[in-house]
Structures are given as C-alpha cells and as structure tokens.
Amino acid sequence: MTSSKPGRHRAHGAKRLSPAAKVGLAPGALIHLGERKTEQAAISLIEYGDADLTERQFSSLAEAHTYQPKLPVLWLNVHGLHEPEVMAEIGRRFKLHPLVLEDILNTNQRPKVDDYGDYLFIVARFFEIDSQSQQIGSDQVSLILGPNFVLTFQERPSGRFDPVRERLRQDRGQIRKLGADYLAYSLLDAVVDRYFTILENIGERTEELEDMMLDRPRPGALQLVHQLKRETLGLRRSIWPLREVINTLTRADERFFRPETRPYLRDVYDHTVHAIESLEANRDMIAGMLDIYLSAISNRVNQEVRALTVVAIIFMPATLISGIFGMNFKTMPLLDWPAGFLIAIGLMATVATTLSIVFWRRRWLA
C-alpha cells in the first residue's frame, strides 16, 4: 500500500531509527522505530464465516477507509510498519489506544500482553535463519484480538502465517467455526512452532561445533561459540516472556477466549515450555564448549611445548660436548688423536639416540 507522502521515508536499507528519536515527544506519537524491512506497506483482509470466505488487498488509504466488512469474523494483516498514516487509519477504524499504535511501531518491544477492555494487545517475535550466513534474525509481530476481529502487524512478508490462511481457505479443522479467538490461537501456535525449527538448527550447529572442538579446534571456533551464545540469548529474551504471555491468556476471562479454545491455548503453553527446555539444554552445551575450547587449546599448547622441550633436551648433550671441545685450551683429551673428531661425533649421536629411545618409550614423542 503506497503512502500518501512517498518522499517522506528513507530508502530501503537506510540506517534504522533509534529510540532516541522519540525523546521529548508526547506519549502515543506515531513514529516508526526500527529497521525498515519492506519498500511499501501492504494490507490484506480475510473475512469469513461458517460457510463463506472472502479475501481483499487494499491499494490505498481511501479504499480502506470506505470498505465495510460483510462477514462475521475478519482478519486484517499489515506488512510494513514504516507508514504512520496507515497505522493511524487502522487505529481510527478499530478504536485502538494511541499507546497500542506506538508499541506496534516500536519494533524493539518485549513479548507481552495488555488488556484494553474491548481487545487484547499481544506482542511476540518471529525468528528467521539467513540461508547464506546461517545467522538468526528476528521480526516483531503484533496481534490484536477483539470480539470478532484479529489484527496482525508484521515488519515484512515472512510467509509464516500462510498455513493458517490455507486452512481458512480450505475450511480444514475448526478454524472457521470457533471464531476470532481460535484464529488468534492458530497464529500464536504458528509463532511458537517456528521456535522449534530455530532450536533444531542451533542444536545441529552446536553438535557440529562441539565435535570439531573435541577433534581439533580451528581458528574462528571461539567466534562461532560467541555467535551461538548471542543467538540463544536473543531467543531466551523472547521465549521466556512469551511463556508468560500464553500463560496469561489461558487464565484470561471469557471475554476473549471461550472455553472451547482454552485447551488449545494450554497446548501452545506446553509447546512453549518444551521450547524453553530445549533452549536451556543448548545454552548449557554452548557454555560447556567454551571450557572445551580452552582445555583443547591448553592441551595443544602443552603438547607443542613438550615436543619442543624433547628436541631441546635431545640436542642439549651435543651442544655441551661441542662447547667443551670448543674451549681455548692447548691441552685437552682427544685433540691430538686422529680419531678424536669421530669419537666426539659418535658420543653426541649415542647420547641423542639414547634420549630419543627413552622419550619414545615414555610416549613423549607421540
């Protein structure tokens, strides 16, 4: 959806706007804080009932302003949060509190749930794996649940809600029969399920890194450990608060979630607890890898120092003998013997060979 002031925003990929930009502004000021991840905002609407479903894309604010819903339940999804006028129009249509709009535009929110009487405001985070760098990034997703509507706000198109859309289109399961609260559950379930994919990726990378460290740590291994630590820390900051969000929803009154939907919410809560347990197991392995790395490096240094020490000891007697015969004395044993040089060399070789055999039997040369 194109803004009415296209020249107002910076180009895609520009420096992100920091929270310092809001210093001194009134609460509820509509300023996008965070990285702009899509060129244009896009609004899609799905309306449905037990026997019917319609989909619509809005290309302008005027079109969205005049549209009137026709079916019992609607799901409005927004991709791109960098156009405050779009958010202002949605806030006007659904009577959203200015602080809700402010939190949606601030993409650094902690997962939370707020009760505004007529609707619930929920914040969570999506995690994605970059196919090239294998680094993990995250996007904020905001969800508003009302009596007969669900609003979702995403930083960019991710495709993570596409399975829910397909279930609505094909009328699979109970998604059309149980109303907006079941739709909200389905979206939260899609968010939580994504965590298991990320945790599986981190687990595989952790095991590979651990095997490499036990075999022979290579340069850059320590950087990989710290990268995994940062990624798991980011996940922890999102999963732990999300568990409390889901737990709060399971105990909320029946204004938003009916008794038929609560068992599904409890199932999502169980999945969240499982994800936390998997995350903590990975964190323990990553923390232990730092000790493995330091031990492997220390053991490697000890082996190299031992090898150098053995070589030095083997050649030390030869250095001693050659030093003795190199002293400036006129009278010394073997100096006047024709075979004196060969005797000295043979003595050096004998001592070196003897020491080598001793070190080899003690496995110092392995």
* Residues 22, 141 contacting (CB under 8 angstroms): no
Sequence-distant (6+) residues with CB within 8 A of 338 are none
Residue with tokens 């994504």: 194
The token duo for 158 is 């991710």
Question: Higher pLDDT residue, 84 or 261?
Answer: 261
Given a contact cutoff of 8 angstroms between Cβ atoms, the answer to whether 126 and 158 are in contact is yes
CA dist list (Å): 308 to 40, 354, 355: 65, 17, 14
Its pTM stands at 0.74
* Pairing mode, strands 136-145 and 149-154: antiparallel
- Burial class, 74, CB count within 10 angstroms (exposed 0-12 / middle 13-18 / buried 19+): buried
User: Residue 96: what are its φ and ψ, rounded to 5°?
Assistant: -90, 145
- Over 90: is that where the pLDDT of 152 sits? yes
What is the per-residue pLDDT across 69-82, written as a single tens digit (0 to 9) for each?
888 899 999 888 87
State the pLDDT confidence band at 366, using cuts at 50, 70 and 90.
Answer: low
Which runs of consecutive H residues, i.e. helices, occur in 10-161? 61-66, 84-94, 98-105
CB contact set of 285 (below 8 Å; sequence gap of 6+): 206, 207, 210
pLDDT-above-70 percentage for the chain: 85
Instruction: At 76, list the tokens.
Output: 């409005």
Sign of CA dihedral 156, 266, 243, 121: positive
From the number of C-beta atoms within 10 Å of its C-beta (0-12, 13-18, 19+), residue 201 rates as: middle
pLDDT of residue 22: 59
- C-alpha to C-alpha distances, 177 to 68, 183, 254, 262, nearest whole angstrom: 22, 10, 17, 15
The whole-angstrom separation of Cα 170 and Cα 1 is 27
Mean pLDDT for the stretch of residues 28-43 = 76
CA 347 vs CA 135, 177, 183, 330: distances in Å: 62, 98, 90, 22
Distance CA 167, CA 173 (A): 8
Evaluate if residue 7 carries a pLDDT over 60. no
- Give the SS3 label for residue 257: coil
Query: Quick one: the chain helix, strand, coil %, rounded to 5?
Result: 55, 15, 30
Residue 93 and residue 86: Cα distance in Å, rounded? 11
Task: Please report which helix (H) or strand (E) contains residue 26, including its range.
Answer: none
Cβ neighbours of residue 158 closer than 8 Å, sequence gap 6 or more: 126, 128, 139
Both tokens of 152, joined, read 């979702």
Domains present along the chain, CATH in parentheses? 6-295 (3.30.460.20), 307-361 (1.20.58.340)
Write the pLDDT tens digit of every residue in 210-238.
888 777 777 777 788 888 888 888 889 88
| CB-CB contact of 216 with 86 (8 Å) | no
In this structure, what token pair is assigned to residue 115? 């009760």
Give tens-digit pLDDT for 276-327.
999 999 888 888 887 777 777 777 777 777 777 777 777 777 776 777 666 6
Higher pLDDT, 201 or 33: 201
